[in-house]
């Protein structure tokens, strides 16, 4: 096996595990008083192995 055809990648998203909102809608938009918010994804880590034939 030729190692030039194999790659190994380590990756992370939101590695500091910061709390944030991916979307936020004030309640006044719909005539109410409750706000709507969707939290962002927590920290994730992984590896990817790619083999080219």
Confidence at residue 34, expressed as pLDDT on a 0 to 100 scale:
83
Confidence at residue 2, expressed as pLDDT on a 0 to 100 scale:
66
Q: What is the DSSP string of 1-53?
A: --GGGEEEEEEEESTT----EEEEE-GGGGTSS--EEEEPP--EEEEEEEE--
b vs e for 10-44, b when ≥16 Cβ sit within 10 Å of the residue's Cβ?
A: eeeeeeeeeeeeeeeeeeeeeeeeeeeeeeeeeee
Per-residue pLDDT of the chain (53 residues; tens, 9 = 90+): 567 899 999 999 999 999 998 898 888 777 777 888 899 999 999 999 999 98
């Amino acid at each position: 096996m030729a190692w030039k055809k194999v790659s190994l990648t380590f990756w992370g998203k939101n590695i500091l595990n910061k709390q944030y909102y991916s979307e936020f809608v004030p309640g006044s938009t719909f005539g109410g008083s409750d706000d709507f918010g969707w939290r962002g994804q927590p920290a994730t880590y992984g590896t990817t192995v790619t083999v080219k034939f």
